[in-house]
Amino acid sequence: MRKSIIIVFIGLIFCGCQDNKKENFEAKNSKIPVVVSESMQKEFTPTLNFSGTAYANREANLGTAIPGRVEKISFDEGTKVTKGDLLVELSSELYTQALIERNALKKDFDRVSRLREKGSLSEQDFDHVKAKYDASVAKTEMMKKNSEIRAPFSGIVVDHIVKEGENFFFAPSLKPGYSMTSGILKLMQLNILNVEIDVNEKEISKIKNGQKAKLVFDAYPDRIYEGTIAKIDPILSTLSRTAKVQIRIKNEDLIIKPGMYAKVDIQMPSQNAIFVPNEAIYRQPGTGNDFVFVVKGGAVKKTSINRIYTFKELVAVEGLEAKVSIVVAGKNKLSDESQIEIKEKKDQ
C-alpha cells in the first residue's frame, strides 16, 4: 500500500514538471504583439542649460585715502555720470593747510636756488631744502585728490553710502553679493551686464570664451537676450566642484537690474547622432541601465544604450546603428529573444 502511494506521488510530480515545461515552451514561443519604429541618424545642436544672476559689468565703492567730512555730493542716486565728473567734495582744511606750507617752502626753494647759482650755498644745503619742497608738493597733490572724488568710469550712482555733512571713515558697505570695500558712494556700469553661472566639472570642458548664449530673465519672460561668454574662472570650487562663468550682455535700456535671475542656454556645435523615440527606451528596474529591444527576424535582442541628449520626444543614444527596427510599445512584456508579432510601424 505504501509503495503504491509513493508511485502515485512520483507520477504527479513528473506530470507537473512536464506541464511547467510545456507552459514555458508555449510562453517562449508565443508571439507578443508590439509596435515598432526605426532608429534614425540626424544632425542636432545640443544645448546646456543653467541658471544665473546678473551683476554690473563694473562697480566701485568710491572713497578717499584719508577720512574727512562730506561737504557736497553732486549727483543723486540713479543719476548717470560720465568718466571724470566731480562726484563728491570733502572738507578742504587739510588741503588748504598743505597749500600754505607748500607756498612757504616754494619761497625758500627759490631763495636757495638763487644762492646756489651764485655759489653761495653748498650742494648739501640745497638738496635738503629741495627735498622738503618736493615732499610738500606731493603732499599738496595728495590732499587735493582726497578733497574730491571723480568718476573713474561712466556709469550710474546707485547708492550714497555716506550722506552730506557726515564724516567719512573706513567702514565696509555691508551689502552681500556686491563689492565690500569702504566708500562714500557706489558707482556701477549697467549698460553692460555680466550674468554669472556655475558650471560643473563634467561640462566645463565644453565651455569656451566667445561662445554664444541665450538668456531669459524671470522679470521679462517674453524677451530673449543674446550674450557672449567673456570669462571662465581658472579654478573650481572645492565644495561644489563648479567654476564661475561670466556671460556678457548689452543692457542699453537699463531694464535688467543687478541681482535679477536668468535662465541661460548655451548652444554647443552641431553634431550627428542616432535618435530613437523616448518611449522605446526601457530602464531596468532598480538600476540606471537603459536598453532598447532591437527586432531581429521574428524575435528581439535586448541591447544596451547610453543617452546623450534629449530633444522633445526623441533621445540621442550611443550603442545603436541607424535604420534599426526597435520596439516602442509592448516592451514591458518582452525579454531577450522573445518572439514578437509586429502590429504597427510608427514613423518618427
The answer to the question of residue 20 being in a domain is: no
Q: What does the mean pLDDT of the chain come to?
A: 85
CATH number at residue 128: 1.10.287
**300 and 261 part of one domain:** no
Average pLDDT over residues 1-22: 48
Confidence at residue 179, expressed as pLDDT on a 0 to 100 scale: 58
Q: Which residues, in sequence order, are bridge partners of residue 34?
A: 342
Distance CA 187, CA 78 (A): 10
- Find, among 197, 213, 252, 212, the residue nearest to 55 by Cα: 197
Q: Which of 241, 267, 293 is the last residue of a domain?
A: 267
> Domain range spanning residue 132?
92-146
Q: Is residue 257 part of a domain?
A: yes
Q: What is the CATH classification number for the domain harbouring 198?
A: 2.40.30.170
What is the reported pLDDT for 30? Answer: 81
Number of domains in the chain: 3
Using the 3D structure, point to which of 219, 241, 267 is the last residue of a domain.
Answer: 267
Query: In terms of domains, do 299 and 312 share one?
Result: yes
Residues 221 and 289 occupy one common structural domain: no
Mean predicted confidence (pLDDT) in 87-99: 81
72-86, 169-183, 190-204, range with the lowest pLDDT: 169-183
Tens digits of per-residue pLDDT, 275-327?
A: 999 999 988 887 888 999 999 988 989 999 998 888 888 999 999 989 999 99
Tell the burial category of 209 from Cβ atoms under 10 Å away from its Cβ (0-12, 13-18, 19+). Answer: exposed
In a domain, 180, yes or no: no
Domain shared by 251 and 300, yes or no: no
Q: What pLDDT digit, counting tens, does each position of 119-172 carry? A: 888 888 888 888 988 888 887 787 777 788 999 999 999 999 889 888 887 665
pLDDT digits (tens, 9 = 90+) for 325-337: 999 988 888 888 8
Q: Looking at the structure, do residues 261 and 223 belong to the same domain, yes or no?
A: yes
What average pLDDT does this structure show over 215-222? 96
Shared domain for 313 and 258, answered yes or no, is: no
49 or 116: which leads in pLDDT: 49
Beta strand pairing call for 340-345 and 32-38 = parallel
Q: Which amino acid is at 328?
A: V
260 and 295 co-located in one domain: no
Q: Of 221, 245, 267, which one is at a domain's C-terminal end?
A: 267
